């Protein structure tokens, strides 16, 4: 059956909520980073699980690929229609279905963004902590196993998704997990789905773990004479057991980009941005103990504040880091790297990366979630100079290989998509083939986001 028949069937199902307009197709073929545009043949906008199920059945019958789409903030080309097909955009499935304060959990549709959820939660005293820089959809965050600045304390999507409703490739609708805080009842299908990037099914509902809004928060920033001093300070803080809620690194180039973008007056030096959650006493104590460690490593005075507006300004700046860096080279596209290494290897990894960037001559500001050993070099390339893109990709490949050699991973939080496919074999060995076997078992027609994550796909 040709795709034309599938599109007719989808129109019968969804009416106006099937789009074939060029602008819509192009918007869903685009990427936040350097990948070329690869639009789908149609975009559909379901409102219910039943509609998603019927979309899947129509596409499966016609052998048409299906690609899930959240907020479109992926950096590894997850949403691109490499083999054409139908993009399933979840923007209308954006309801918070049930908040259960006594159980500290919530059930949402996949199109709810993390900011929209926290807006709804504000009055409950609870919040959802996982915060990639972008205002991503929670469905997309689950599918890429996203994390962010607070992961050092609250974990990633791996730790905060309790259960899912998933439409499988054959149209079956399954529920994974329970609302109990733990379970030993069989394979952890929730964990299998989190990070599966739409290659095993389309998520139509998520139950998420919530956390109490901290009674008190203190946050601050400090500069270091060099990168090694900053990473040594991170390691010592972690080993002292000081409970960090956030610890973010920004290199001198990044500080310069912040200054230009946000009008700040940061020294052009490596910085740490730090936050503590707890009681008024504990957060003050934590900040003071941290300040002592900073001083021991020749850092600048640790300026900290418990005032909400100062903290908000600090983290808004951090969350705009990617855009600030992009703006530092007008017209540039970004090759974003995302390596994560054991903490003991962090200084070594950052140092080798900086030397590599310096040798390349490309702008490559670094920022990252150093409490987890995860950092990003954002390599800025002129899209009209293919040699620059090649150079950046080579550099990113060396970073990934180095991370794997150091016992780490080519992607701490952005996922595989197709940008990180070339490193999967060396990171996982035969385990990558096992991922392929799981994929084939659940999607024998290879229609769920083909060309991503698994081998020969």
Please name the residues in contact with 45: beta carbons below 8 A apart, sequence gap of 6 or more: 14, 17, 18, 19, 89, 91, 92
User: 5 or 183: whose CB is closer to its own copies?
Assistant: 183
Rounded CA-CA distance 448/410 in Å is 23
Rounded CA-CA distance 105/126 in Å is 9
From candidates 123, 359, 387, 441, binder to its own copies by CB under 8 A: 441
User: 253 or 283: whose CB is closer to its own copies?
Assistant: 283
Return the residues of window 39-98 that contact its own copies according to CB under 8 A: none
From candidates 115, 215, 292, 308, binder to its own copies by CB under 8 A: 215
From candidates 411, 446, 449, 457, binder to its own copies by CB under 8 A: 411
Q: Which structure tokens are listed for 131?
A: 């915060």
From candidates 294, 325, 399, 424, binder to its own copies by CB under 8 A: 424
Query: DSSP code of 70?
Result: S
Here's the x/- map for its own copies, 303-342, by CB under 8 A: it reads as: -----------------------------------x-xxx
Considering just the CA atoms, what is the radius of gyration of the chain in Å? 22
Residue 184 as a binder of its own copies (CB under 8 A): the answer is yes
Residue 218 as a binder of its own copies (CB under 8 A): the answer is no
From candidates 73, 80, 151, 320, binder to its own copies by CB under 8 A: 151
Return the residues of window 241-300 that contact its own copies according to CB under 8 A: 241, 281-282
Closest distance of CB 345 from its own copies, Å: 8
**Mind giving me the DSSP string for 230-278?**
HHHHHHHHHHTT---SEEEEE-HHHHHHHHHHH-----SS-EEEEEEEE
Here's the x/- map for its own copies, 131-150, by CB under 8 A: it reads as: -------------xxxx---
User: 185 or 359: whose CB is closer to its own copies?
Assistant: 185
Rounded CA-CA distance 152/170 in Å is 38
Closest distance of CB 40 from its own copies, Å: 23
Q: Are 351 and 402 in contact (CB under 8 A)?
A: no
Closest distance of CB 3 from its own copies, Å: 28
Q: Among candidates 409, 406, 405, which has minimal Cα distance to 432?
A: 409
Rounded CA-CA distance 440/436 in Å is 6
From candidates 22, 123, 239, 384, binder to its own copies by CB under 8 A: 239
Closest distance of CB 125 from its own copies, Å: 9
How many residues line the site for its own copies (CB under 8 A)?
84
Residue 420 as a binder of its own copies (CB under 8 A): the answer is yes
Residue 185 as a binder of its own copies (CB under 8 A): the answer is yes
Residue 431 as a binder of its own copies (CB under 8 A): the answer is yes
Query: DSSP code of 92?
Result: T
Rounded CA-CA distance 137/450 in Å is 21
From candidates 53, 256, 297, 414, binder to its own copies by CB under 8 A: 414
Across-strand partners of 273?
221, 248
Residue 16 as a binder of its own copies (CB under 8 A): the answer is no
Q: Are 156 and 86 in contact (CB under 8 A)?
A: no
Here's the x/- map for its own copies, 95-134, by CB under 8 A: it reads as: -----xxxxxx-----------------------------
Return the residues of window 341-360 that contact its own copies according to CB under 8 A: 341-344
Residue 174 as a binder of its own copies (CB under 8 A): the answer is yes
Closest distance of CB 375 from its own copies, Å: 11
Q: Which stretch binds its own copies (CB under 8 A): 176-184, 216-224, 253-261, 329-337?
A: 176-184
From candidates 85, 110, 408, 419, binder to its own copies by CB under 8 A: 408
From candidates 8, 159, 351, 382, binder to its own copies by CB under 8 A: 159
Q: Which stretch binds its own copies (CB under 8 A): 86-94, 327-335, 372-380, 391-399?
A: 372-380
């Amino acid at each position: 059956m040709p795709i034309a028949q599938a599109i007719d069937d989808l129109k019968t199902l969804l009416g106006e909520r099937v789009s074939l307009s060029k602008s819509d197709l192009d918007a869903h073929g685009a990427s936040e980073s350097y990948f070329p545009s690869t639009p789908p043949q149609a975009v559909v906008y379901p409102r219910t699980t039943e509609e998603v199920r019927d979309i899947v059945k129509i596409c499966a019958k016609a052998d048409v690929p299906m690609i899930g789409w959240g907020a479109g903030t992926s950096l590894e080309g997850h949403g691109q229609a490499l083999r054409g097909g139908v993009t399933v955009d979840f923007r209308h499935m954006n309801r918070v279905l049930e908040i259960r304060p006594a159980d500290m959990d919530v059930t949402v549709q996949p199109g709810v963004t993390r900011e929209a959820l926290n807006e709804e939660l504000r009055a409950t005293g609870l919040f959802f902590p996982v915060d990639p820089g972008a205002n991503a959809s929670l469905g997309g965050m689950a599918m890429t196993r996203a994390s962010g600045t607070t992961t050092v304390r609250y974990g990633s999507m791996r730790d905060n998704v309790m259960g899912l409703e998933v439409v499988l490739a054959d149209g079956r609708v399954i529920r994974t997990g329970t609302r109990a805080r733990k379970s030993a009842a069989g394979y952890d299908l929730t964990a299998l789905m989190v990070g599966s990037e739409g290659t095993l099914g389309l998520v139509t509902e998520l139950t998420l773990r919530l956390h109490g809004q901290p009674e008190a928060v203190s946050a601050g920033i400090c500069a270091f004479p060099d990168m090694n001093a900053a990473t040594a300070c991170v390691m010592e803080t972690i080993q002292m057991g000081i409970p960090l809620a956030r610890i973010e690194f920004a290199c001198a180039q990044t500080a310069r980009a912040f200054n230009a973008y946000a009008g700040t007056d940061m020294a052009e030096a490596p910085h740490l941005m730090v936050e503590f959650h707890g009681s008024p006493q504990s957060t003050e104590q934590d900040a003071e103990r941290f300040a002592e460690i900073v001083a021991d490593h020749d850092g600048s005075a640790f300026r900290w504040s418990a005032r909400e507006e100062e903290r908000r300004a600090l983290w808004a700046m951090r969350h705009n880091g990617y855009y600030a860096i992009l703006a530092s080279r007008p017209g540039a596209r970004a090759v974003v790297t995302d390596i994560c290494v054991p903490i003991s290897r962090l200084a070594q990894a950052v140092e080798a990366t900086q030397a590599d960037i310096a040798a390349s001559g490309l702008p490559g500001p670094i920022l990252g979630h150093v409490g987890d050993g995860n950092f990003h070099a954002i390599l800025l390339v002129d899209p009209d100079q293919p040699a620059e893109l090649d150079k950046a990709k080579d550099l990113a490949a060396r970073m990934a290989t180095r991370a794997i050699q150091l016992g780490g991973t080519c992607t701490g939080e952005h996922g595989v998509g197709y940008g990180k496919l070339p490193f999967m074999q060396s990171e996982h060995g035969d385990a990558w083939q096992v991922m392929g076997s799981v994929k084939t078992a659940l999607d024998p027609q290879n229609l769920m986001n083909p060309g991503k994550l698994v081998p020969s796909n």
